[in-house]
Structures are given as structure tokens and as C-alpha cells.
Chains A and B, each alone.
Chain A
Amino acid sequence: MNRYTFTFLVLAVSLLAGPVQAQQERFQVYGFFDLELDGTNKNPDDFQYTFDQHHFNVITVYRMSDRWRVFGEVEWEHGVSLNASGGSGLVALERAWVEYAHTDALRVKAGKFLPPFGNYNQLHDATPTFLSSFLPNAVYGKHSNTVGGSQRLYAKFGTGIQVLGTFFPGSWQADYYAYVTNGRGPRPGEADNDRNKGVGGRFVLTAPNDVARLGASYYEDRNGAADGTKQRAIAAELAFGTSGFWLEGEALIPVLETVDGAGVPNGAFRTGLGYYVQASYRTSAGLTPFGRFGVFDPDVDVADDGDNDIVFGLNFALRNFAYLKGEIQFLNFQDPTVDGYERFVSSIATKRLRSDLHGRRGMACPVGGSATV
């Protein structure tokens, strides 16, 4: 190596190494994985159980500048194996959006996102972030719609534009979200091509040290999955706790347009009600027992059409990136002709909380190490 080559290399390394200490990571990768063991005695004569490699999700965050970033999430679900003739499982682009942060109080997000609705929809399927293996069914589950199908009472996904921000009234924190999306048509990610959009918002107040939270959410669209019927949903959330104890609850009021005998929307509406309450206590050993009671009534004007579920579970933090969960769910139906049953779920969920790949000058080239914490 001659002197000029050596000098060039020293200069190059100096120029490249300098900015690393002076900036944040540009490109980061996160993700989560879970495996469930799911059993039910829904058929009393034939207890069945199955393993389900439910989620393998990879999240990438690319910070283009101090104000711009791109977020993406790809999901491989149910041990996906696809081929030309079909296969099983699912691969999906769960989220892909760009965000511009004008200030903390004003950000704009555009792309495919998880509409902020209730406490959990933005957390989505990230099971390491919540105690149970599944979200509270009364608010987040699928329920019968007016044309005999099954659907959520809000949109789990949305493609469009969102405005959001955080501000501080005194020592409290306030977060707001407002969005317009394509809604839930046949092709909600691209050619919606109508004037009926999904519209929603969420407002959350959080107490100092996050010891309490209260919020409200709203969503409406013309639901293409149910013969174009109109739908609105209003939800309220409340949570508080201290010293390991945590109590939370949400209530949902869905208003769904009904259809006539020919399946045509008739301009009449039915109102439902769903709510749940969940209590938990986290011990210093990482054990968190929890209990939940949920109710869903699809039409408050019709008697004996509702159901409820009671869940008892235990969440154990093996490490700060791995959780073992076990729970039993008791499902009961008001309709005397429908038998209740139990469902047993245990799972292991892991997350990758940090992986720093130091990109620089717009290049997403990994030059640093990675560590799991």
C-alpha cells in the first residue's frame, strides 16, 4: 500500500466515521413472532387443539431526515406456504406509510396505516405488547353484520391520510388523530373509486407518569364488505393503575344500516353495544395474572341475542423479549339454543426490540452491529 492510498483510506474512514456519532440511526428493524396452542371443546364429543404459527412480522423504520420517516410492516401469518395453486397462510403488507412531523402537535401521515381506534388497533397483532393471546372480542372481534356476514365494527386497515399530534395541557398529555381512508370496499388499498370514504378519529388524555388514560374513538364508512351498508362506531376507553395493578375497559357502540328482503340497504339502522373490563397485577417476578369480562349485544332492541366471555390468564415475562401466556376463555350465549364452550390458548411471543443498522447519507447500508435488548 503506497502513501497516497493509505492517506485516502484514512480520509475516507474519517469522513464516513464522523457522522455516525453525530446522528441517530437512520434505518431500524423490529419485529415479533408468536406460536399458539389453541384448543376448544366447542364440540363436546371431540376436543380439538392445534398449533398455530400465527405471526411473523418485520417492521422497518427509515428516517430520511429530522422530519420525514417511512414505516413499513410485512406479515407472514399462519406458517404461510403459498404456491401457484394456492397454499395456506397469508403474506400481507400490513402498513406502509410516510410521515412528516411539522411539530410535535402536527404530523401528517400518508399511506396504508392502522386506523387509530380504541386502545389496541394501532398495536394490531403485536402480541408481545399485550397480556392476552388475543384482543378483547367484544370490541375488536368480528361480529355478525346485517347481511349475515362477519366483520369488525371498525376498519382494521386504512389507506389514506392521517393528521395527528401531541400537546400538553398542564402536566397531562393529549394525543389526537384524524383520518380519511378509502374505507372497506372490495379493493381498499387502491381502486376504491367512490365518494364514500372511511372517516375517523381518536382523542386520548394521559395522566402524568401514564398512571391513567381516557379516550374516545369514532369511525364511519360505507362498508363494502356488507353490501355497501353504512356503519358508524363510537368507542370510549378508560385505564388506570399503579404499583403493578392495572384496570382497563372499553365500550363500543356500533350503528349498522340494515337491509331489506332483497339485501338492499334500506336506510334503517340497528344499534349494538360491546364492552369489556380487564384487571391485571404484575408481580416483581414478571408474572402477570389477569381477568377479563366482555359483553357483546349486536342489537340492543332485540332480546337474547348477545354473548359474553370471561377470560382468566397468566402472562409470564421469561425475558424482556419473550413471553409465555396461558388463558382459558368461557363463552356464553344468551340464546338458550346455543351451548357455551371453553377455549384454551397458550402461546409464546417474542419481539425484537432493537436492531440498529447505521445508514448514512441516504444509504440504507448496514455498517454497524446489531443487538437485541
Chain B
Amino acid sequence: MIRTVQVLAPFLMLVFLTFTASDVNAQQRGGYKIVVNASNPVAALTADQVARLFQKKVTRWDNGQTVVPVDLPEDSRVRDRFTQDVHGRSVGAIKGYWQRQIFSGRGVPPVEKASPQEVVTYVAANANAIGYVPADMSTGPDVKAVRLSR
């Protein structure tokens, strides 16, 4: 019995750590981080909140300002990971969502920037913007990362 516990302990510990660390490590695990303008008071968002912001189901920050989400190109691996992780769907499925939104008159998709650096520049210049960039990218003083939780 003791031997069984000894064998299983590292595995159980690993499972425990995986689950408890999933919140804080979600972005790193997915290879991206959520970024907003440094003046934005938001410090943490849930994945549901981020999904609603990027699908423009929620269009205003708590201070009433219009949220300006910014995407990476469709073929970006970072976008693929972000979309799977936050929306729980494929990039293609999200494109389909935007087709229906556009043609039903509900809304138009977020601005797309060609590179993570352009996303950072855009977010730095726009107090209400929110984007995502590679987790290990340096973003400078005008942009800050937001903690993503489940």
C-alpha cells in the first residue's frame, strides 16, 4: 500500500499542480497573453469575458467606453491557440460566426493587424483596445498583460 502511494504520489501531485496552475498558466500554455492599454484599470478577465469582448457580445468596459478588440491574421498560430482556448472553437467556426453577424446586421468583426508588434502598437495607441500577443513578447510600458482565469 505504502509502495503504491509512493509510486502514485508524484503523478497525483502533478495532476493537482496541473489543475491548480491552469488559471495562471493558461496563457503561457496556449502561447499567448491578453494585453490592454496600460491606462485600462482591468487586471484580470475570465475566458468567458474575453470571448464576449472579442465576439462583440459585450461592447463596453465598466467605465462605459467602447471595447476595441484587435485580432491577429487568420493564419496566425497565436490566433489559433487563442481561439481554441478562449472561444472553445476553431478559427473557422469564429469566421462563420462573423459571417452571420455581418449579414444579419448585428456587427462586424474586430480589426485585424498583420503582426503581434502591430497589435501592441495599436493597443498602446488606443486606451480601449484589447488584444493578444505571444506570451513571451515584450510589450513596453504603454501596454500591460491581463491575467486570464477560467
Contact = CB atoms under 8 A, between A and B. Distances in A.
Nearest to B73: A373
B60 A103 contact: yes
B59 A30 contact: no
Nearest to B103: A126
B60 A104 contact: yes
Interface in A189-216: 208-210
Contact of A209 (B65, B89, B96): B89
Contact of A61 (B98, B108, B122): B108
Contacts of A22: 125-126
Interface in A88-133: 95, 97, 101, 103-104, 113-114, 122-124, 126, 128-129
B55 to A, nearest CB: 9
Interface string A6-41: 000000000000000111110010101000000000
Instruction: Identify whether the interface residues of B are mostly helix, strand, loop, or mixed.
Output: mixed
B63 interface: no
B126 A166 contact: no
Interface in B17-59: 48, 52, 57-59
Given A104-B60, A113-B105, A126-B103, A353 B98 contact: yes
Contact of A123 (B95, B98, B100, B111): B100
Nearest to A124: B103
A351 interface: yes
A71 B95 contact: no
Interface residues on A, range: 35 or more
A266 interface: no
Interface in B96-138: 96-100, 102-106, 108-109, 111-112, 121-122, 125-126
A122 B122 CA distance: 33
Nearest to A171: B48
Contacts of A168: 52, 57-58
B103 A24 contact: no
Contact of B126 (A21, A59, A104): A21
Nearest to B93: A210
A21 B102 contact: no
A291 B3 CA distance: 57
A351 B74 CA distance: 16
Given A104-B58, A171-B48, A353-B95, A114 B105 contact: yes
A373 B74 contact: yes
28 contacts: A21-B126, A23-B68, A24-B68, A25-B111, A28-B108, A30-B102, A59-B102, A61-B108, A66-B65, A104-B57, A113-B105, A114-B104, A122-B105, A123-B100, A123-B104, A128-B103, A129-B100, A166-B57, A168-B52, A168-B58, A210-B97, A351-B99, A351-B103, A353-B95, A354-B112, A356-B111, A373-B73, A373-B74
Interface of B: 48, 52, 57-60, 65-66, 68, 73-74, 87-89, 92, 95-100, 102-106, 108-109, 111-112, 121-122, 125-126
Interface of A: 21-25, 28, 30, 32, 59, 61, 66, 71, 95, 97, 101, 103-104, 113-114, 122-124, 126, 128-129, 166, 168, 171, 173, 208-210, 320, 351, 353-354, 356, 373
Given A168-B58, A209-B89, A351-B103, 7 more contacts: A59-B103, A66-B65, A114-B104, A122-B104, A123-B100, A208-B48, A210-B89
